[in-house]
Amino acid sequence: MVLHDCSTPEFPEQLKVIVAGGFGAGKTTFVGAVSEIEPLTTEERLTVASVGTDDLAGVETKQCTTVAMDFGRRTFAENTVLYLFGTPGQSRFWFLWDELCHGATGAVVLVDTRRLQDSFPVVEFFEKRRIPFVVAVNLFDGAYRYPASEVQRALGLGHEIPVVRCDARRGPDARDVLVALIRHILHQLHPLSR
């Protein structure tokens, strides 16, 4: 992972960003809200075949799920392009994650505090691979708004991991999460630049 300022209008800096989280955390919505292109999605309808396999507690109205990945793109300052790869949320599709994360610069871990237990394996995945990440608490309607410090403590995160709030349906919120990720990555590369 190298961030340097040698991009030109012809060859912008290109960064691969993973958007991950548990089942129903809002990954497809996040990618769709922030992407400047029509996002590629691999959504399929949930069927009776998933009964007993997918835990719908807290997301009972969910009708579709990502079965491979989502893809979007976001340009910042005309010389930095983020390629966004959304992961599938169900553990049965996690075999795809290693391939999707190959060459990733960083990741956004979307968290649904109503289903916080789904976030532990996601956080562990990025910690083990030493991929810089931020935690974005998706503010679902009707969900309790925990302070960032409580979420950080509940997930066992170090104080250096940013925890931000967002409404994954809103492009400006999703953009702010990506800015927080870029700042976090830069700080890890240049700790004194803060």
Q: Name the residue ranges covered by the structural domains of the chain.
A: 13-47+64-193
Whether the full predicted model's pTM is greater than 0.75, yes or no, is yes
Element (H, E) at 37: none
Instruction: Say if residues 100 and 85 touch (Cβ distance below 8 Å).
Output: yes
Task: Name the CATH topology of 13-47+64-193.
Answer: Rossmann fold (3.40.50)
Of 111, 135, 28, the residue nearest 72 (C-alpha)? 28
Mean pLDDT by runs of 10 across the 194 residues of the chain is 53 89 92 93 60 57 64 89 89 79 96 94 96 96 92 95 97 97 90 60
**DSSP3 helix / strand / coil % (the chain, rounded to 5):** 35, 25, 40
Instruction: Say if residues 77 and 8 touch (Cβ distance below 8 Å).
Output: no
> What is the predicted pLDDT for the residue at 109?
98
> What is the predicted pLDDT for the residue at 24?
87
> What is the predicted pLDDT for the residue at 145?
93
